Structure formats: structure tokens, C-alpha cells
Structure 1
Amino acid sequence: MDLNDKVVLINGASSGIGAATAIYLSKQSAKLFWLGLTSDVDCERIVNETIEHHGKVDVLVNNAGVIGMGGIKNSTLETYDRVMSTNIRAVYLLTQLTVPYLIQSKGCVINVSCVSSSKPSTMALAYNISKAALDHFTKCTALELAPDGVRVNSVNPGFVKTNLLKDIGLSEDQLELFVKNVVGNMPLKKAVEGDEVAALIAYLASDKAKTITGSNFVIDGGSILR
């Protein structure tokens, strides 16, 4: 996909899927602005700096995310607040700040969600519901912004081995066993690679996807089937 001269703003690009996406999009000749985990001030600053340098935003990739372990019986409100602040509130704010410029460029938003948004589990309640909220945010904003020519979609990866897993708090041996069990239960027996997710994001950011909006694209090795 040729993204030549498209200005792309990526949230959460310091590692994992975000870093893979930044590398992939740069190879497609996109002009990138990125930031790590966000505060309100960071969101306002990066949008202002992007406009100052390039005068426009064509693509917003909301990728930043944190995970919090535990279910309703053994998690805390502090975990809930931390997860929702990054996974939903920051997305809401950054999208809101960027929308006026996306309307001008007839651009698009791509939210990085997860298959856990529609696949219940007991391991990470706050994370799962944050991704469910993100999927609905995608559909609602897609509907609202369609008359303005702005597309909004999400990619929903299954298991991708990224730094996000460090938040689980497992030892290296425990983490290795966890990864082996997760991949072993996937129909294709393959973990999703970061550059695969990046390629899907690039497609949705390109003009080849000009009539796609309000959709959640699952890329999970078939794990959602079980």
C-alpha cells in the first residue's frame, strides 16, 4: 500500500504492535508522528505539533493499551481506573482532538482492539470490557463521522507476544508456559506477528479501503472460534 504523503499519528508506538506499525508505515512512505502512553497534555501536544509541522492529519492509529489482571472477585478499582484511562479515555480524547483535521483531510481512524472484546474470559475483566467499549466506540464514531467522509475501523488481534504481557506479572518460565498454552489452543497453532497487524492497519489506512468503515477486523489465528 502506498501511503505517500499521508500524515499518520500513532498512539502507543514505543513498543509492540505500535512500534511494528510505525516501522511498517514508514516503509510505505507515510509521515509519522507518535507518542507512547498518553496523558491529556501529551494528547494535546502531539496533535498541535503534528499540525504545526505538516498542517494536517490523515490517519489516527489509537494503539496505546495496558492490561490489568483479575476478575470481579480479585481486582481493584485502581486497576479498573488505570486500564480504562489508557484504553478508552485517551482514545476518546485523542480522537476528539484530531477529528477537525481528519474531516479536512477526509482521513480515517484505526483503533487497535482485541478479540477479548467479544470473547469472555475471567483473567482480565477491566481489559476485556475496555476493548468491548472500544469496539462500540469504533462503530458509533464511524456512524457519526461518515457524513464528513471520515472512516473509523478497528483491528482485533488475538495473541501477540508483546511487552504488554509483562504487566501480567509472570516469571519468564511462567510466561513461556503461558505462551505455549495459548498458542497450542489456537486452531492455526500460530501466534499473530506484529507486522501482520501492521499490514492490516496499513490497508485500512490506504485508499484501497475507501468504502470500509465501522468494522472490526479479527486477526487471531482462529482463536475466537473456540
Structure 2
Amino acid sequence: MDYDFSNKVVLVTGASVGIGESTALLFAKLGAKLSLVGRNEANLRAVAAECEKQKGVKPLAIFADLGTDEGIHKTAKETLEHFKRLDVLVNNAAIGARTSILHETDMKIFDDVFRIDVRGVYLLTKLLVPALIEAKGNIINISSISATVVAVGSLPYGMAKAALDHFTRLVSLELAPKGVRVNSVSPGITVSNFVKRITGSTDEQYKSWLGEVSKQIPLGEPCVGDDIARMVVHIASEHSRLVTGTVVEVDGALRFNTASSSHLVSQQIKH
């Protein structure tokens, strides 16, 4: 199955690491013109340089905090001024949090998670929808099986991702008559620095944990960034031209292993 994004403009948020980095690199290999957003300037420059190596197309690198209105407006403004259009918006930027039980949770954690994972997506999408309507483009939100798997320790994050999934459904209905598709990709346990960053785990601790995780996933292994990136590209392509309002899980069937999925999501956050 061939994918060609030549002359397509793709905006990827949270592109400096993990799933965002993998997604940016795959779109670059397929010829896309990229607008890449991140908070870590050194990492983002490195990712942009790797993307340029793929097809010789230099990405636009935007250093912005999507937890602020200023950063969101900057992202939308610079992308449209530079490329004059937008075909694909990948809302990937997010933060996670490990929390204790409800009555012991600091409200700042809740506010931080919702400001970036929900409000940031809402506002950035709002600002870019006119360009997406003009291009008959599409939106892909990166969610998580935490939206449906109930686990101790994931309260604000799980709520935020559930909100994101319903945002996908609602906006897909609004924009379908305008020719814009909206979908979510929902990863399961994914190998990245996301958990290590939250928990402060060492490389050896994380490697050991992933080994235990693999035994509980029905397909036998966790996802890597490329697994999610390939699904994002497929949904963004014309091969999925009538797919909208969906939440596509990429989790090795972990969500069906009810007891294990709850335990692993909890451990992913608390580990």
C-alpha cells in the first residue's frame, strides 16, 4: 500500500520525542512538508534535522508551550504564515501524571494535565480548522487506552484522554459536512521516555518493567513509536477517506485483558 504526502503540509505537536518524533520522521519519509512543535529546543532541532535528511525537505521548527494561549497562537500563526495551508493536524503533545487517590491529589496536577491534554488541543484545533476546511484535510488526536481502562493512579490523565476521545467524536460530526475527517489513535503500553520522565526510572528499571509488561499483553510485546506512527499515516491518507469519528486502539489487545490492563496502566503511571 503506497502512501504519498508530497505537497501535503502536516503539523505534528510534541514532535521532539517519542510518538511525535516517530510520526514526524515517517511523514518526512513520505515527502510531507512538516511543521514540528515542541518545548525542548535541542531535541526538536535534532528531529527536524533527521526529517530533512529523509527527502531534503526542511521542516518548520516551532518552539512553543502548548499549555499556554501564547504558544498555541504562535504555533497556528507561524504554520499558516510559512506554508499558507494545512492538510493534516496531529495533536500529539501531552503530559502525563501519576497521582494518589482523589482526596490526596493536588489540583495543580489536574489543571496542568487538562490545560495541555484537553484545552491545548481544543484551542489549537479551533484556530486551524478554517485552513483544514479549505484543504479538505484531517485531524488525528493521539489518545491512550487510559481513556477506557480504569486504573488507580491515572485519574486526571485518564479523564483527559476520555475527554479527547469524545472531542474527536463531536468534532468529527461537526466537520464531516465540511469535508474534514477527525480520528483518534489510542496507544497501549508504548516504549518511550514518557514513563521514565514521569517516574524517574533508570534505564535498567524500565527495561525490567517492560519485560514483565510483555508477558501480560496478548500479542506479547508493547508498542514502539513506529507502530503508532504507521497507524497515524494510514488514517491520514486517502486509504482512510471515509474513516471519521473513530478511536483506533494500537495496544496488542491489552484492553481486552481486563485485570492485566488495569494493573499495567496503573504500574505504567506509578512505576
Partner of 2:12: 10
Indicate whether 1:202 and 2:233 are aligned. Answer: yes
Q: CA RMSD in A?
A: 1.3
> How far did 1:170 drift?
4.0
Partner of 1:57: 86
Higher mean C-alpha deviation, range 64-73 or range 94-103: 64-73
Higher mean C-alpha deviation, range 158-167 or range 99-108: 158-167
Note the alpha carbon deviations across 1:13-57, whole angstroms, 9 max, x for none.
010000000000000001000111512212211221121121100
Residue aligned with 2:102, SS: coil
2:153 pairs, out of 123, 132, 150, with 123
Residue aligned with 1:23, SS: helix
Partner of 2:138: 108
Percent of aligned positions that are identical: 40
Structure 2 residue runs of 5 or longer lacking an equivalent are 39-64, 258-271
C-alpha separation in 1, matches of 2:74 and 2:30: 25
C-alpha separation in 2, matches of 1:164 and 1:86: 15
> How far did 1:182 drift?
2.2
Note the alpha carbon deviations across 1:120-167, whole angstroms, 9 max, x for none.
111221111110000000000000111111100000010112121124
After superposition, where does 1:58-137 map in structure 2 within 5 Å?
A: 58-70=87-99, 71-137=101-167
Partner of 2:222: 191
Does structure 2 retain, via aligned residues, the 8 Å contact 1:64–1:86? yes
> How far did 1:73 drift?
4.0
Indicate whether 1:224 and 2:226 are aligned. Answer: no
C-alpha separation in 1, matches of 2:71 and 2:198: 26
Partner of 1:25: 27
Q: TM-score, normalised by structure 1?
A: 0.96
Partner of 2:174: 144
Does structure 1 retain, via aligned residues, the 8 Å contact 2:146–2:154? no
Does structure 2 retain, via aligned residues, the 8 Å contact 1:62–1:91? yes
Does structure 2 retain, via aligned residues, the 8 Å contact 1:68–1:167? no
Does structure 2 retain, via aligned residues, the 8 Å contact 1:67–1:167? no
1:163 pairs, out of 186, 189, 193, with 193
Does structure 2 retain, via aligned residues, the 8 Å contact 1:69–1:75? no
C-alpha separation in 1, matches of 2:199 and 2:5: 38
Does structure 1 retain, via aligned residues, the 8 Å contact 2:35–2:79? yes
Specify which structure has the bigger relative contact order, considering alpha-carbon pairs within 8 angstroms and separated by 6 or more residues.
Answer: 1
- Runs of 4 or more, structure 1, over 4 Å off, are none
Higher mean C-alpha deviation, range 135-144 or range 118-127: 118-127
Residue identity matched to 1:52: E
Residue identity matched to 1:122: V
Residue identity matched to 2:219: L
Partner of 2:77: 48
C-alpha separation in 2, matches of 1:171 and 1:48: 38
C-alpha separation in 2, matches of 1:80 and 1:183: 30
Does structure 2 retain, via aligned residues, the 8 Å contact 1:9–1:34? yes
Structure with higher Rg: it is 2
Residue aligned with 1:155, SS: strand
